[in-house]
Structure 1
Amino acid sequence: MNDVEGHVLHGLLEEASGDIVIRLDRHGFMIHASANIAELGLDLSCALLLPHITDLAERDHAGFLGEHVSAVLAGRTQIGWIEFPVVACAERDTCREAQCQRWYALSLRPMCDTNGTPDGALCLMRSVQRLRSLEGELHSRAVTDPLTGLANRQAFCASLRRHLARGGGQMVAVFAVDSMRALLLRYGQRTADEVLWGFAKFLETMTQSLTAPGHELAQLDGERFAVLLPEMTARCAREWAEDVLTTFAGLAAPTSAKAPQLTASAGLARVECTVDWTLREAELGLVLARAGGGRQVATAGHRRAA
């Protein structure tokens, strides 16, 4: 490394506290790195063979990183930041645990020798793991109901759109605890929340007992829950929904005369036409079930949107 490169490298180290600075040759092999590369489980001083920059990336992202580095070194693309996961542990060749994976951003600065000939590049690697984690947390909050932890209406509708794009035909059941408004007015919001949370966990248990794969459970709003039932006929879906209601009524039977009698109802529909149409049909079935006295399953019939 000449004096000019050394000056640039030390300048980068001074302005990039906590970042990793790497010197690449013209083929992308690492010929020097700041000491904190040890955080990634690497020690260039002990390496018999120079590692390539792509050796840092998790296996599925190595090709993408290699193409970008090659393009920058050859002057075929603009200099910018790219992000990729790194296996950051001492056993990086064998470790595939999720907790060993960290996300980093990489920026390249092509270098030339005193004659102006391309001579590799300087890399700046900066951890973006905290940002990635925050983005994941924000996304999770955006598609999750805060009370029950179930997927919310937005996430369920997105799933229905995917099924409709593949032709639809699955069954959907919409459940709700009967007389929730009366329960709220008599016992308060805290008790109502406890009932909804308990009903959500009960539905989770009932859906997990399904033998057919691919079922999905979500909370549509404050009191309605939806279950997608793939690979299930309308008859089987009705029988399963009726079993859910009967089981819930038995588990929620009052232990005293003063305790409320909790029951639930359900509406069934087939995934067809549009997301709004599908949910409207299922929710209309729920309305009919409640109008019939509750604790039953109903369908709105096979009508088509105009």
Structure 2
Amino acid sequence: MSDVEGHVLHGLLEETAGDIVIRLDARGFIVHASANIAALGLDLSGALLLPHITDLAGPEHAPSLGEHVAAALAGGEPGGWAEFPVIACADRTFCRELHCERWYALSLRPMRDSRGAPDGALCLMRSVQQLRSLEGELHARTVTDPLTGLANRAAFCASLRRYLAQGGGQMVALFAIDAMRALLLRYGQRTADEVVWGFAKYLETMALPGHEVAQLDGERFAVALPEMTSRGAREWAEEVVATFAGLAAPASAKAPQLTASAGLARIECTVDWTLREAELGLVLARAGGGSQVAIAGYRRAA
């Protein structure tokens, strides 16, 4: 490395504490890196073979990173920052632990030799893990209910659209806690929230592998039932309703009797049509006194 390059690297290191500075040759191999690259599980001091910059990225992101770096090494204009996950572990080849994966952003500055020909690049790698984590948290908040942690209406409707795009025909169940309004007026919002949270956890427990559970509003829950026939969906929903009535049986005459009802529908036509049919089944079930399961035009006590 020339004195000029060493001076540039030294200056960059002073300005970007915590970032990783890398010198690439014309083919993209790492010929020098700041000492903090050890945080990624790499030790270049004793390396017999120089690693390529794409060796840092996960397998699915290595090709796109390679294209980004190749364009800069060819003498083109820097293409901004490229983000990719890095396995930050000494056992980089075989480690598959999620906690070892960290996201970094890479920026390149093409270098030229004394004749003006492309001569590799100086790179700056900056951790964007915290930003990625915040983005993931914000996304989770937009698709989940804050009280129960279940998928919300928007997320569930998106799932229904995917089922419809695949041809539809799957079953969906719409559950509601009976007399929820009366419970709220008598015992208050805190108790109502506890009941809603408890029923959400109960539904998650009763759900079978592949079922998608969501909370549509304060008292309605929906469950997508792929690969279930109408009869199988009805039997499962009846078991859910009957078991809940048994588990929630009051311990004293003063305690409230909690029950739930369900309406079933086939995922067809549109999202709105599907949910409307399920809602109609729920109305029929509750009209019979609650703790029942019904499809529009059909009702059967649990």
Q: TM-score range by the shorter chain?
A: over 0.9
Q: Retained in 2: the 8 A contact 1:245–1:265? A: yes
- In structure 2, what is the equivalent of residue 7 of structure 1? 7
Alignment: residue pair count? 298
Q: Within 1, Cα distance between the matches of 2:34 and 2:201? A: 51
- In structure 2, what is the equivalent of residue 113 of structure 1? 113
Trace 1:9-48 onto structure 2 (pairs within 5 A): 9-48=9-48
User: Following TM superposition, by how much is the alpha carbon of 1:145 offset from its aligned partner in structure 2, in angstroms?
Assistant: 0.9
User: Following TM superposition, by how much is the alpha carbon of 1:43 offset from its aligned partner in structure 2, in angstroms?
Assistant: 1.6
- In structure 1, what is the equivalent of residue 229 of structure 2? 233
Which residue identity lines up with residue 11 of structure 1 in the other structure? G
User: Following TM superposition, by how much is the alpha carbon of 1:214 offset from its aligned partner in structure 2, in angstroms?
Assistant: 2.1
User: Following TM superposition, by how much is the alpha carbon of 1:242 offset from its aligned partner in structure 2, in angstroms?
Assistant: 1.2
- In structure 2, what is the equivalent of residue 139 of structure 1? 139
Between 1:41-50 and 1:215-224, the stretch displaced more is 41-50
User: Following TM superposition, by how much is the alpha carbon of 1:76 offset from its aligned partner in structure 2, in angstroms?
Assistant: 4.8
Question: Does residue 167 of the first structure (1) align with residue 185 of the second (2)?
Answer: no
Q: Within 2, Cα distance between the matches of 1:67 and 1:79? A: 10
Q: Secondary structure at the match of 2:278?
A: helix
Structure 2 length-normalised TM: 0.95
Which residue identity lines up with residue 269 of structure 2 in the other structure? C
Which residue identity lines up with residue 91 of structure 1 in the other structure? D
> Gaps spanning 5+ residues in structure 2: where?
none
Q: Secondary structure at the match of 2:195?
A: helix
- In structure 1, what is the equivalent of residue 103 of structure 2? 103
Q: Secondary structure at the match of 1:125?
A: strand
User: Following TM superposition, by how much is the alpha carbon of 1:78 offset from its aligned partner in structure 2, in angstroms?
Assistant: 4.0
Question: Does residue 66 of the first structure (1) align with residue 62 of the second (2)?
Answer: no
Structure 1 length-normalised TM: 0.94
> Gaps spanning 5+ residues in structure 1: where?
none
Between 1:9-18 and 1:263-272, the stretch displaced more is 9-18
Q: Within 1, Cα distance between the matches of 2:77 and 2:179? A: 63
Please, which of 217, 221, 234 is the counterpart of residue 217 of structure 2? 221
- Taking only the aligned residue pairs, the percentage that are identical comes to 81
Deviations 1:194-253 (A, max 9, x none): 11111111111111xx3xx42111111110000111111112211211111111111111
- In structure 1, what is the equivalent of residue 290 of structure 2? 294
Query: Runs of at least 4 residues of structure 1 off by over 4 A?
Result: none
Q: Kindly report the root-mean-square deviation, in angstroms, between the aligned alpha carbons of the 2 structures.
A: 1.4
Q: Within 2, Cα distance between the matches of 1:14 and 1:242? A: 67
Which residue identity lines up with residue 252 of structure 1 in the other structure? A
Q: Within 1, Cα distance between the matches of 2:205 and 2:51? A: 50
- In structure 2, what is the equivalent of residue 258 of structure 1? 254
